Amino acid sequence: MKGLFLIAFALAFCAVPGTTQAQPSPTAIRIGVVNTDVSSEPVYAEAQGFFKQAGLAAQITTFANGKQVLDGLASNALDVGFVNIVSTVDAIQKGAPLTIVAPATIYDRTAPITVLVQAASSTFTSGRELNGKTLGVPAPNDLGEVSTRAWVDATGGDSKTIHYVTGVPSSQIAAALAEHRVDAAELSEPALTAEKQKGTVKALAATFDVVGSPFYIGVFVASAPWASAHPGAARAFAAVMRDTARWANAHRAETAPILAESLKVSPAATEAMVRARYGDLLSPALIQPIVDLSAKYGVLRPARAADLIGATALRE
């Protein structure tokens, strides 16, 4: 009888309104982004509580460029990070244990978020006029260099004659142009709009247009050992990026102040700049064009885009 009484008491206690079982602790996930709108989905997801809802405790770190994100993944300081598509595939082909888990920004030629700029006083109009000149790109053999080389060749120039300078911060591009340390340089939002409004630079070309098809500017890649050890967290991250992409694309007004705070710029700047459009599900068709172009220039080996996507990714 005593045993029956204890069982009944336990059952009654569990049925008391307001009593809850302990919830599992959220899974920590270390995420690397860069200081532009193209990789800001995790920032929006954290602000909107999407990570918490998915059982993830996001630790977001902002880096100056994708190379630093790759270094963080290689050193096990990060679990997931944003990297441009060319650098991602290059790292994978060189043996880095990485896997693509979610898309980021899709390039939209009607609203280019990254362009090749020149000094306001310069008069370049084609690749032919850039033969022998010095161009600034974010990193060696990355998306910016590949697209610039292709544009120069497509507009009468010879990209083999051009000298490329890497690593000039966006905040110093205008000065580098004015001092003739570079003759043209890739520049992305929000610095692009800010410098155009100051009158320090003007657009030379939307070089990403040369790809000819929509493509991912960048993707979120995960450490393959981490994704294998934490498949649930990797899938949850991919789902959060899908939901964030759909929300952010439809709520530009709500994302503007979040972006302004993240980038340390004024709300007016985020309202004036060209905004990123995010992909929700991974599509090999949006990876293949830039892989093929990069292979043409010897930056990447030929590859099937479908083979680069991880098992935990959400595909079209």
Residue ranges per domain, the chain? 27-107+214-308, 114-211
Instruction: Calculate the average pLDDT of the chain.
Output: 91
Report the C-alpha gap between 230 and 36 in whole angstroms. Answer: 28
pLDDT of residue 141: 86
pLDDT of residue 89: 95
How far from 63 is each of 39, 80, 86, CA to CA, in Å? 11, 13, 18
Whether 27-107+214-308 and 114-211 share one fold: the answer is yes
- Per residue in 84-137, pLDDT (tens digit) is 999 999 999 999 999 999 999 999 999 999 999 999 999 999 999 999 999 999
pLDDT of residue 5: 46
| 9: pLDDT strictly greater than 50 | no
Report the C-alpha gap between 160 and 102 in whole angstroms. Answer: 34
First to last CA, the chain: 60
pLDDT of residue 21: 57
pLDDT of residue 23: 65
> Taking a C-beta distance cutoff of 8 angstroms, is the pair 281, 242 a contact?
yes
Where does 114-211 sit in CATH, by number? 3.40.190.10
Instruction: Name the band, by pLDDT with cuts 50, 70 and 90, for residue 4.
Output: very low
Distance of CA 131 to the CA centre of its chain: 30
> Taking a C-beta distance cutoff of 8 angstroms, is the pair 207, 107 a contact?
no
Report the C-alpha gap between 37 and 273 in whole angstroms. Answer: 10
Report the C-alpha gap between 103 and 112 in whole angstroms. Answer: 18
- Per residue in 125-180, pLDDT (tens digit) is 999 999 999 999 988 888 999 999 999 999 999 999 999 999 898 889 999 999 99
**Residue partners of 256: CB distance under 8 A and separation at least 6:** 267, 270, 271
Who has greater pLDDT, 45 or 11? 45
Report the C-alpha gap between 34 and 226 in whole angstroms. Answer: 21
Produce one character per residue of 293-309: b if its CB has 16 or more CB atoms within 10 Å, e if not. bbeebebbeebebeebb
pLDDT of residue 22: 58
- Mean pLDDT on 298-316: 90
Lowest-confidence range among 15-19, 38-42, 111-115, 137-141? 15-19
Return the CATH superfamily for domain 27-107+214-308: Periplasmic binding protein-like II (3.40.190.10)
- Per residue in 257-294, pLDDT (tens digit) is 999 999 888 888 888 999 999 999 999 999 999 999 99
Q: What are phi and psi of 132, to 5 degrees?
A: 80, 0
